[in-house]
């Protein structure tokens, strides 16, 4: 699948590898993706989504691990079925799932989170502090220097939570949520999945509901954990670590610099910059 192929030939090549006849398909680009390129494949018998895997995030993504995670979630109907995963990990084809409702209700989202976090698939552990260190690679952007000493404090507070480490998606925002034909929520794009702390997933999912604290309390209740001061500190720490991971990731893909204004970023990254900087200012 050489990069020099014209786009149509490249897409048709992927479809043929997946066992779909390009002559029976109509491809429409799906806007909004930040790293990968997405195409809805209209086809009699059921639509699909063709995803061309971006290379910019290779420093932080294991495609073989993502395939394992996606298949595990699809096995409990919490992800669209994987129709084909390319042996060279350059693309995949999954069943199409419609967009999640504009207003996601808290209880269905809690149910999705609980189901994902109970998956028995074994993946390497993802520690936020280690990810931040890897992304920054020794750099200390001026905008982050005030918050770097807080990383071990937040890490300790997170570990004090009574919630056990489990399978986590680690990128559960609205763009990675869909609705199955039966009407329940499913997740997409398991690029950052691994063993981790569930509260990191709740931070991302909290963008999708009117009140993230209600989501947090509902999740703790489902897991049999009391929302006490220790858990509140862990919840705040999860926000700080998530914000730092977001900004450190932006540092890595922007050649070691963190823009001091969202206007200097591509439009797809601006909401994440604004959210993360807002979180850090609130926690400072």
More confident residue, 57 or 92: 92
pLDDT, one tens digit per residue, over 205-216 is 999 999 999 999
| The last residue of a domain, from among 76, 96, 116 | 96
pLDDT, one tens digit per residue, over 113-160 is 999 999 999 999 999 999 999 999 888 888 899 999 999 999 999 999
The answer to whether residue 1 sits within a structural domain is no
| The last residue of a domain, from among 51, 75, 96 | 96
Are 112 and 210 within one domain? yes
Are 117 and 255 within one domain? yes
Are 76 and 131 within one domain? no
Are 119 and 76 within one domain? no
pLDDT of residue 31 exceeding 80: yes
Rounded to an integer, what distance in angstroms lies between the CA atom of residue 276 and that of residue 24? Answer: 44
| The last residue of a domain, from among 35, 67, 96 | 96
Q: How many domains does the chain have?
A: 2
The answer to whether residue 2 sits within a structural domain is no
Most confident of 55-59, 140-144, 173-177: 173-177
Are 170 and 257 within one domain? yes
Q: What is the CATH number of the domain that holds 189?
A: 3.90.1200.10
Task: Look over the chain and give the mean of its residue pLDDT values, rounded to a whole number.
Answer: 93
> Tokens 């009574």 — which residue?
162
The answer to whether residue 69 sits within a structural domain is yes
Are 144 and 22 within one domain? no
Q: Which domain holds residue 112?
A: 106-283
pTM: 0.93
Are 227 and 268 within one domain? yes
What pLDDT, on a 0 to 100 scale, did the predictor assign at position 144? 92
């Amino acid at each position: 699948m050489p990069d020099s192929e014209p786009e149509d030939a490249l897409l048709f090549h992927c479809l043929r590898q997946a066992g779909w006849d390009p002559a029976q398909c109509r491809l429409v680009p799906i806007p909004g993706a930040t790293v990968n390129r997405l195409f809805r494949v209209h086809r009699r018998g059921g639509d699909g989504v063709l995803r061309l895997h971006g290379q910019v995030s290779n420093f932080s993504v294991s495609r073989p691990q993502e395939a394992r995670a996606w298949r595990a979630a699809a096995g409990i109907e919490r992800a669209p079925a994987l129709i084909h995963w390319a042996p060279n990990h350059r693309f995949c084809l999954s069943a199409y799932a419609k967009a999640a409702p504009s207003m996601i209700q808290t209880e269905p989202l809690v149910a999705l989170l609980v189901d994902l976090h109970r998956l028995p698939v074994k993946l390497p552990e993802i520690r936020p502090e280690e990810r931040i260190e890897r992304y920054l690679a020794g750099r200390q952007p001026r905008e982050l220097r005030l918050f770097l000493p807080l990383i071990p404090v937040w890490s300790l507070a997170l570990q004090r939570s009574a919630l056990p480490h489990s399978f986590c998606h680690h990128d559960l925002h609205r763009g990675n949520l869909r609705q199955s034909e039966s009407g329940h929520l499913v997740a997409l794009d398991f690029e950052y999945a691994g063993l981790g702390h569930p509260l990191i997933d709740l931070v991302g999912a909290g963008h999708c509901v009117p009140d993230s604290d209600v989501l947090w309390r509902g999740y703790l209740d489902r897991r049999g954990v009391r929302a006490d001061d220790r858990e509140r500190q862990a919840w705040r720490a999860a926000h700080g670590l998530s914000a730092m991971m977001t900004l450190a990731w932006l540092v890595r893909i922007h050649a070691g610099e963190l823009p001091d204004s969202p206007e200097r970023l591509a439009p797809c990254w601006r909401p994440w910059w604004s959210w993360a900087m807002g979180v850090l200012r609130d926690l400072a």
